[in-house]
Amino acid sequence: MSKADKIETTGPGKTANSEAEWRKKLTPEQFHVTREHGTERAFSHPYNKEKREGMYRCVCCGEPLFSSDTKFDSGTGWPSFYAPAGEGSVSEKEDRSFLMHRTEVRCAKCEAHLGHVFPDGPEPTGARYCINGAALELDTDEPGGKGSL
Protein backbone atom coordinates (compact mmCIF):
# COMPACT_ATOMS: atom_id res chain seq x y z
CA MET A 1 0.00 0.00 0.00
CA SER A 2 1.61 3.19 -1.12
CA LYS A 3 0.19 6.62 -0.53
CA ALA A 4 -0.26 7.01 -4.28
CA ASP A 5 -3.02 4.40 -4.13
CA LYS A 6 -5.21 6.67 -2.07
CA ILE A 7 -8.29 8.26 -3.51
CA GLU A 8 -7.50 11.37 -5.50
CA THR A 9 -8.75 14.48 -3.75
CA THR A 10 -9.35 18.01 -4.85
CA GLY A 11 -7.21 19.30 -2.01
CA PRO A 12 -3.83 20.91 -2.41
CA GLY A 13 -2.14 17.52 -2.12
CA LYS A 14 0.34 18.68 0.45
CA THR A 15 0.38 19.18 4.14
CA ALA A 16 2.50 22.29 4.42
CA ASN A 17 -0.25 24.87 4.13
CA SER A 18 0.51 27.97 6.09
CA GLU A 19 -1.84 29.34 8.68
CA ALA A 20 -2.78 32.15 6.28
CA GLU A 21 -3.71 29.66 3.59
CA TRP A 22 -5.90 27.70 5.98
CA ARG A 23 -7.60 30.91 7.08
CA LYS A 24 -8.46 31.70 3.48
CA LYS A 25 -9.79 28.22 2.77
CA LEU A 26 -11.80 27.62 5.95
CA THR A 27 -14.62 29.35 7.76
CA PRO A 28 -13.64 30.87 11.13
CA GLU A 29 -15.28 27.95 12.96
CA GLN A 30 -13.61 25.33 10.75
CA PHE A 31 -10.27 27.06 11.26
CA HIS A 32 -10.73 27.25 15.01
CA VAL A 33 -11.61 23.55 15.32
CA THR A 34 -9.11 22.02 12.92
CA ARG A 35 -6.08 24.29 13.25
CA GLU A 36 -6.48 25.60 16.82
CA HIS A 37 -7.79 22.41 18.46
CA GLY A 38 -11.16 23.97 19.10
CA THR A 39 -14.37 22.21 20.02
CA GLU A 40 -17.71 23.24 18.62
CA ARG A 41 -20.66 23.55 20.96
CA ALA A 42 -22.49 20.28 21.59
CA PHE A 43 -25.58 19.84 19.41
CA SER A 44 -24.54 22.87 17.36
CA HIS A 45 -23.59 21.15 14.12
CA PRO A 46 -26.12 19.64 11.68
CA TYR A 47 -23.85 16.61 11.13
CA ASN A 48 -24.68 15.53 14.68
CA LYS A 49 -28.10 14.46 13.43
CA GLU A 50 -27.08 13.78 9.85
CA LYS A 51 -28.64 10.57 8.52
CA ARG A 52 -27.63 10.64 4.85
CA GLU A 53 -25.21 8.04 3.59
CA GLY A 54 -21.85 9.09 2.35
CA MET A 55 -18.23 9.67 3.16
CA TYR A 56 -17.22 12.26 5.71
CA ARG A 57 -14.10 13.91 4.37
CA CYS A 58 -11.57 16.18 6.02
CA VAL A 59 -12.80 19.75 5.59
CA CYS A 60 -9.18 20.86 5.12
CA CYS A 61 -7.74 18.40 2.62
CA GLY A 62 -10.62 16.22 1.40
CA GLU A 63 -9.21 12.97 2.71
CA PRO A 64 -11.95 10.37 3.40
CA LEU A 65 -12.09 10.01 7.18
CA PHE A 66 -15.32 8.39 8.35
CA SER A 67 -18.06 6.49 6.55
CA SER A 68 -21.71 7.04 7.41
CA ASP A 69 -21.83 3.25 7.90
CA THR A 70 -19.95 3.63 11.19
CA LYS A 71 -21.87 6.68 12.43
CA PHE A 72 -24.03 6.20 15.51
CA ASP A 73 -26.02 8.37 17.86
CA SER A 74 -23.91 8.68 20.99
CA GLY A 75 -26.16 11.30 22.58
CA THR A 76 -23.16 13.51 23.30
CA GLY A 77 -24.05 16.21 20.80
CA TRP A 78 -21.17 15.54 18.43
CA PRO A 79 -21.05 13.32 15.35
CA SER A 80 -19.81 9.93 16.56
CA PHE A 81 -18.30 7.00 14.69
CA TYR A 82 -17.06 3.63 15.87
CA ALA A 83 -14.28 3.34 13.29
CA PRO A 84 -12.34 5.45 10.80
CA ALA A 85 -12.92 4.98 7.07
CA GLY A 86 -9.66 3.16 6.58
CA GLU A 87 -6.54 2.10 8.36
CA GLY A 88 -4.28 5.10 8.56
CA SER A 89 -6.89 7.68 7.62
CA VAL A 90 -6.67 9.27 11.05
CA SER A 91 -3.81 9.55 13.51
CA GLU A 92 -4.25 9.31 17.25
CA LYS A 93 -2.21 11.18 19.78
CA GLU A 94 -2.23 11.39 23.55
CA ASP A 95 -3.68 14.64 24.80
CA ARG A 96 -3.12 15.61 28.42
CA SER A 97 -4.44 19.15 28.20
CA PHE A 98 -7.05 20.38 30.68
CA LEU A 99 -5.70 17.81 33.19
CA MET A 100 -7.59 15.10 31.35
CA HIS A 101 -6.12 12.11 29.69
CA ARG A 102 -7.68 11.78 26.27
CA THR A 103 -6.66 10.58 22.86
CA GLU A 104 -6.77 13.23 20.19
CA VAL A 105 -7.81 12.28 16.66
CA ARG A 106 -6.27 14.05 13.69
CA CYS A 107 -6.46 13.79 9.93
CA ALA A 108 -3.44 11.66 9.07
CA LYS A 109 -2.82 13.64 5.92
CA CYS A 110 -2.99 17.29 6.98
CA GLU A 111 -3.01 16.96 10.80
CA ALA A 112 -6.32 18.75 11.16
CA HIS A 113 -7.68 18.35 14.68
CA LEU A 114 -10.89 16.33 14.41
CA GLY A 115 -11.88 15.42 17.96
CA HIS A 116 -11.14 12.64 20.42
CA VAL A 117 -11.56 8.89 20.66
CA PHE A 118 -12.91 7.18 23.78
CA PRO A 119 -13.01 3.48 24.68
CA ASP A 120 -16.76 3.40 25.37
CA GLY A 121 -18.18 2.95 21.87
CA PRO A 122 -20.41 0.22 20.48
CA GLU A 123 -19.41 -3.07 18.89
CA PRO A 124 -17.60 -4.17 16.82
CA THR A 125 -14.72 -1.86 17.79
CA GLY A 126 -15.74 -0.52 21.20
CA ALA A 127 -14.32 2.83 20.15
CA ARG A 128 -16.19 6.12 20.08
CA TYR A 129 -14.72 8.70 17.75
CA CYS A 130 -16.24 11.95 18.98
CA ILE A 131 -15.70 14.30 16.06
CA ASN A 132 -16.44 17.96 15.46
CA GLY A 133 -18.87 18.41 12.58
CA ALA A 134 -16.95 21.52 11.58
CA ALA A 135 -13.92 19.35 10.75
CA LEU A 136 -15.94 17.22 8.33
CA GLU A 137 -17.52 17.58 4.94
CA LEU A 138 -20.11 14.97 3.95
CA ASP A 139 -19.73 13.67 0.43
CA THR A 140 -23.03 11.97 -0.38
CA ASP A 141 -21.86 10.92 -3.85
CA GLU A 142 -19.55 8.34 -2.40
CA PRO A 143 -21.29 5.74 -0.27
CA GLY A 144 -19.07 4.26 2.39
CA GLY A 145 -18.92 0.91 0.69
CA LYS A 146 -22.01 -0.83 2.03
CA GLY A 147 -24.43 -1.76 -0.72
CA SER A 148 -22.32 -0.23 -3.43
CA LEU A 149 -20.85 -3.46 -4.76
107 in active site: no
Q: Which stretch binds Zn ion (CB under 5 A): 13-21, 52-60, 76-84, 85-93?
A: 52-60
Q: How far apart are CA 66 and CA 14, in angstroms?
A: 20
Residue from 26, 83, 85, 107 binding Zn ion (CB under 5 A): 107
Q: How far apart are CA 119 and CA 113, in angstroms?
A: 19
Residue from 26, 33, 61, 131 binding Zn ion (CB under 5 A): 61
Would you say 38 or 101 has its CB closer to Zn ion? Answer: 38
- Closest-CA residue to 8 (of 87, 109, 88, 107): 109
Instruction: Let me know: does 61 contact 12? Beta carbons within 8 Å.
Output: yes
Residue 60 touches Zn ion, criterion: CB under 5 A: yes
Q: How far is the CB of 56 from Zn ion (least distance, A)?
A: 11
Type of residue numbered 63: E
Residue 109 touches Zn ion, criterion: CB under 5 A: yes
Residue 71 touches Zn ion, criterion: CB under 5 A: no
Q: How far is the CB of 15 from Zn ion (least distance, A)?
A: 8
Instruction: Let me know: does 108 contact 91? Beta carbons within 8 Å.
Output: yes
Q: How far apart are CA 91 and CA 43, in angstroms?
A: 25
- SS3 for 16? coil
* φ, ψ dihedrals at 8, nearest 5°: -65, 135
Would you say 39 or 91 has its CB closer to Zn ion? Answer: 91
- Active-site annotation holder among 58, 60, 107, 130: 130
Residue 58 touches Zn ion, criterion: CB under 5 A: yes
Contact residues toward Zn ion (CB under 5 A) are: 58, 60-61, 63, 107, 109-110, 112
